[in-house]
Structure 1
């Protein structure tokens, strides 16, 4: 499958991706909260409560704001993550596209997506999700017993107490998860977009949302084991594992293979919404930026010509 090479400016890719990531992170955060809570329960040997039970208990104990515990870390990280992802992917795919046809083959698209995912995993996702995971854990405690008061103070407290390495726990599985996520998600979306635009037309907003949602569904089922291992390695109980491989082996041995897909439902809901929101906002923002640049060019060029002619 090939896709047409689109030459997006680096700033446009970064800005559009960051805006899309921030909005998507805030809108879908409650599903991330529910998924993480289910994975915590499983790691403690408990039968994970269902999504409805988690939401009901959280609302009863902490109110609606409880569903957004750790939200600031994820929204900030999501904006940075999406910005890095689209900037990396757009840059890499232009570099590896066929020099004659300007097209991107399926293997090259997968490679570009995987490399973009590794970049976002290292520079954005690992620190933000490590902090988010700890803030969610802390939010389960009674208010009087909580250690952190928010993103900034919580981040400072974690680093001060445990060192900078504490927010890079799970770097390996996080990079692998993000590499797999981006390879699957971006390639699936690019393939669908190629099909939708093969006659030269531009997909509408609903069609773009649908393509992004489908890409999210495919991503969930293929990458969920990475997400489970990542969450365990970033929790307060991470010391019980000797490393990523040991963590995966213990989960498979003590809890069963099916536990690698624990929390799939809330993550599925999130990535269906996420895919639709991110790609829709990303494409709309790029269109708006391009339209603005074209308008500025039209406004400037006549003035330049007029200045030249008067001389």
Structure 2
């Protein structure tokens, strides 16, 4: 009994706590937002450029800098960073907590099924708590910040969006929740599993081995892992967007499965992956940046607090 409890305590002492993983995700989200906000600003300006003021991505960026200054490329950073920080904190912390519960009680190892389940659970929780309501509210608000506007009801399109959600009630913030849950659950299950697989395949890195990858190695694994999720979850992302955008008074789709069937029948199977290229241009670079930061933080914690000291190793305590 004593030996069993000692082994269990030893396993707990060699695991990075969930709160450290949550902190690593939080800081990773801040860095990612700071690095990628100019891309979102340029994307938003191009989407709203009905007068054809800009001649492509590079011209848009140069024009913004010349007319408004370099800082204009980071307009809207606050809502963008808030969204990413909260999302990654919840995602990384929940995944680590679930992994702790699902790990083998004797060996402390995590099976492939347990890893997938942990990622799926983290994705489901972030979808319900953060992603669904934030995407509805902040996607509209971020346009205001990006354009430098501060009065929401001064823009007809945004006024209509906010009024419609108000009329639908608080549950309107969870429009399209089911496909969002499926998208994020599958996405995180695939992403965490793929990240671990790429770390092992490319760098012979395993969780808890005390090694810290170089930032460029974490970025490579994170980038590749970030490509897996969007491919797997394309249909759920398309359906989520369609359900969120439709009016409650005259809805075209009655739910997730009806939307999938309707889109497939009317537009073809490939329509379920519309928008995949923009997602691949945005998500993998973001994951590369986030994991470069997160791996350094967890690696530092392992070296400082988890790895056995030379004295304990010499005494046979490992």
Structure 2 unaligned residues grouped into runs of 5+: 1-10, 49-54, 307-318
Per-residue deviation, residues 130-164 of structure 1 (Å, max 9, x unmatched): 113344688999x7996378xxx999877645421
Which residue is equivalent to 2:291? Answer: 279
2:213 to 190, 195, 203: 203
Taking the aligned partners of 1:85 and 1:94, their CA distance within structure 2 comes to: 14
Counterpart mapping for 1:150-189 below 5 A: 160-189=166-195
Which residue is equivalent to 2:239? Answer: 229
SS of equivalent to 1:99: coil
2:210–2:299 contact (8 Å) kept in structure 1: no
2:212–2:295 contact (8 Å) kept in structure 1: no
State the shift of 1:264 in Å.
1.5
1:9 to 17, 28, 34: 17
Taking the aligned partners of 1:251 and 1:138, their CA distance within structure 2 comes to: 31
2:277 to 259, 262, 265: 265
Please, what is the CA RMSD of the aligned residues? Answer: 4.3
Counterpart mapping for 1:112-123 below 5 A: 112-123=118-129
State the shift of 1:168 in Å.
0.9
Between 1:87-96 and 1:246-255, the stretch displaced more is 246-255
1:37–1:54 contact (8 Å) kept in structure 2: no
Structure 1 unaligned residues grouped into runs of 5+: 41-51, 295-311
With normalisation by structure 2, the TM-score equals 0.71
The one of the two structures with greater contact order (alpha-carbon pairs below 8 A, sep at least 6) is 1
1:229–1:248 contact (8 Å) kept in structure 2: yes
State the shift of 1:188 in Å.
0.5
Taking the aligned partners of 1:131 and 1:97, their CA distance within structure 2 comes to: 37
Counterpart mapping for 1:40-189 below 5 A: 72-135=78-141, 147=153, 160-189=166-195
1:73–1:131 contact (8 Å) kept in structure 2: no
2:234–2:276 contact (8 Å) kept in structure 1: yes
With normalisation by structure 1, the TM-score equals 0.72
**Paired positions, count:** 280
